[in-house]
Chains A and B, each alone.
Chain A
Amino acid sequence: MTESAASQLQEKRPVGGELIIPIAGLLFTGYYFTTIVDSPWTAQVSAFFVGSFLAVLSLIFIIKAAAMVRRGEADFGVRGVFNDTDLEFNRHWLLLLTIAYILVVEWGGFTITTFVFLTAAMLVLNKGRRPVFIALLSAAFAFGGYALFIFAFEVRFPIGPFERLVRWLLA
């Protein structure tokens, strides 16, 4: 590849990422319409109105994007959304840890799960540096959150072994 061709490729707008929301909107609208096709008009009227507008707008955007690609001004790349910074800054690990946090917090309880999540996420994002400080900071926020929200205000946070143990000890 020549240098000018390479620079031309670099300058192209990556519209693939920009298409995610319109395509998701189109797919969701299509699905939504299938759920109301046999419903009374009260369930249909707003959805058909809003959904039709969304579908038309999304199609216009998709056609415009396709035209840009055809003219050589853009490509279907998704560099705008997913790129090297995800790996560089461990964004993918943060997402996986967040999913794990939500899965575990229901039975692990707020305090322990939050402590583990905060420690793990901060260590991952900080590339393993300052582990003691991170552990102390995580503990301060997790146990501080427990003291303020669950103990003092009795807010309905997810309850787990730690919260049950403290409740049993104080009973």
Chain B
Amino acid sequence: MSLPLDLFGSLFLHELSFWWVIVPSILLGYIVGAIPGFSAANTIIILLPLTLAMDVEVGLAFMVALYCSSRMGAGIPAILVNIPGTAGAAATPLDGYPMAKAGRGQQALAISFVASTVGGLLTTVLSIFIMPWLAEVSYHMHSVEMIVIMLFGISLIASIAARDTLKGLIAGFLGLMIGLIGTDHVYATPRGTFGLLELYDGVPLIPALVGLFAVSEAFMIIEQRSILTEKGLNILRGAGWSATLEGVTIALRRWWHITWTGLIGLVIGVIPGAGAAIASFVAYQQSRSFSRTPELYGTGHPEGLIAPESANNGVTAGTLIPMFILGIPGGATAAVMLVVLQYQGVNIGPTLFEQRPEIGYGVFIVMAVTYLLMMVTILPLARYMPRVTMARTVYLAPLIISFTLVGSFVPRDYVFDMFLGLLFGVIGYIGRRTGYHVAAILIGVILGPMLEQYFLRAMKMADGDLMVLFSSNIGNALWAALIVSVALPFALEYKRNRQRAAGTA
């Protein structure tokens, strides 16, 4: 597939002419991304009659803009009020929320916006050039390789557990155990469901997300006047445009960090079924592993915010690559887009790039245009959005509870899921009060079922032979990388301690 470079300039201007649909879609994406229970896929489905009535290029611009901006929108409540809008933003509050609490919400939002847009833009542009090779990745990722990638994400539990190992591991394994509720993936035997039919499909993600983060947070914050500390309140009151610019500068100075964590997102996005949650956890864990200051992670460290935000935007371009080259959607939103394109009579596959480059390449160009317009539209908002953290908690807490619990009702139409959200809220509240990290529980709930699914698939194919886990070259390379990334922080810490000891001697 040779690249028609001369075409890209005219395509860029052509896609830019769709600004009138891209800008409203971006604003809609911020809203749907920020509300738990909503997603770009749901919104595209809800607005399907409208999308199908549009010209195919306009429809594509609408869907792509909504998809990209919803990723970034999910990070906004994660930073400001500790409520990730989607599972893809579940790692964002680890460092974003402590920044907001300290009155550095403007800087945090600006860092998140720059990481998201620059990470998304870089990976989109890169996708255009290395698309055929990246599509190959999805061919080579089988159950064994997926198991190791899941373990990359799960090893974040160990990082979180670094501060209190036993409690961190208990929280992580409890999450994994909760994630195993439901029928098994081979014979559909119900397990740990308490006889409740609603749990046969497993524990739904949104109530877990909403409960562990939002509901528990609402019950915690009512002791304070506002989310902010007294010092944070004073800082935020005195903050001006310079705070936003400071955030932009902090992020741009770490351009290399944005780039490589975005690349993690791109590669994971290419793998069908992997998704933004895994990418953001893996990127956060890798960022911490290779950091010179791992002890700052979780305290409001900019790199801990950049990693998940850049990665989950890298996923966006990644999920579209196998769809356009192979016809295999990399995620739920890509699957909905595939349906729309097929309805419009667009034949997906490598020939699309030669026969209809305005669609094949156009989708990535419109993505690049979207990221550029996102920078323009979102950065000014960073100045005022953190004001929400100044609201009194007596008003904020009931609003968080009602809207997030109703959000957990939306995906399945079950009031049961609202109760589940409250139950997770109670677990999260007890966990926070007693030093068990809710993020470790959530990682288990998200990744546990996926890990089991791939593990069982590998075992079935190998007739129960565990050595299958070490049977592929790519898998073995990933195992080696996993061992290095887990062992490296300990090795670096050991080296630092020795240097410190030598210095004091």
Contact = CB atoms under 8 A, between A and B. Distances in A.
Contacts of B218: 94
A53 B434 CA distance: 21
Interface string A49-62: 01101100110110
Nearest to B188: A43
Top 5 A-B pairs, shortest CB-CB distance: A121-B398, A43-B184, A125-B394, A32-B192, A42-B186
A106 B415 contact: yes
13 contacts: A43-B191, A46-B451, A46-B456, A50-B176, A53-B169, A54-B174, A57-B170, A58-B170, A64-B166, A105-B418, A117-B398, A122-B398, A156-B413
Contacts of B192: 28, 31-32, 35-36, 47
B357 interface: no
B430 interface: yes
B434 A54 contact: no
Interface string A68-85: 000000000000110001
Interface string B203-246: 00000000000010011001100000000000000000000000
Given A25-B170, A61-B167, A98-B422, A51 B177 contact: yes
Contacts of A105: 406, 409, 415, 418
B402 A57 contact: no
Interface size classification for chain A: 35 or more
A60 B169 CA distance: 12
B46 A81 contact: no
A21 B409 contact: no
Nearest to A85: B223
B410 A156 contact: yes
B380 interface: no
A22 B399 CA distance: 31
Interface string B455-472: 110011000100000000
B273 interface: no
Contacts of A43: 184, 186-187, 189, 191
A102 interface: yes
Given A25-B170, A158-B415, A45 B402 contact: no
Contact of A17 (B185, B419, B430): B430
A-side interface mostly: helix
Interface in B148-187: 166-167, 169-171, 173-174, 176-178, 180-181, 184-187
Interface of A: 17-18, 20-22, 24-25, 28-29, 31-32, 35-36, 39-43, 45-47, 50-51, 53-54, 57-58, 60-61, 64, 80-81, 85, 89-91, 94-95, 98-99, 101-102, 105-106, 110, 114, 117-118, 121-122, 125-126, 134, 137, 141, 145, 153-158
B405 interface: yes
B449 to A, nearest CB: 9
A41 B463 CA distance: 12
Nearest to B431: A21
A99 B405 CA distance: 11
Nearest to A82: B433
A81 B430 contact: yes
Interface residues of B, number: 64
A57 B166 contact: yes
Nearest to A38: B189
Given A20-B434, A21-B434, A89 B460 contact: no
A125 B448 CA distance: 38
B322 to A, nearest CB: 28
Interface in B412-436: 413, 415, 418-419, 422, 427, 429-431, 433-436
Contacts of A81: 429-430, 433-434
A61 B360 CA distance: 56
Nearest to B421: A102
A28 B175 CA distance: 12
B446 to A, nearest CB: 14
Given A20-B434, A95-B219, A158-B415, A145 B403 contact: yes
A31 B192 CA distance: 7
Contact of B174 (A17, A25, A35, A125): A25
Contacts of A95: 219
A147 to B, nearest CB: 13
A157 B410 contact: yes
B399 A118 contact: yes
Contacts of B435: 18
B395 A98 contact: no
A58 B177 CA distance: 13
A122 B405 CA distance: 17
A57 B218 CA distance: 30
Nearest to A158: B409
A71 to B, nearest CB: 18
A121 B401 contact: yes
A75 B138 CA distance: 54
Contact of B186 (A32, A36, A40): A40
Nearest to A148: B31
B321 interface: no
A95 B423 CA distance: 11
Contacts of B405: 98, 101-102
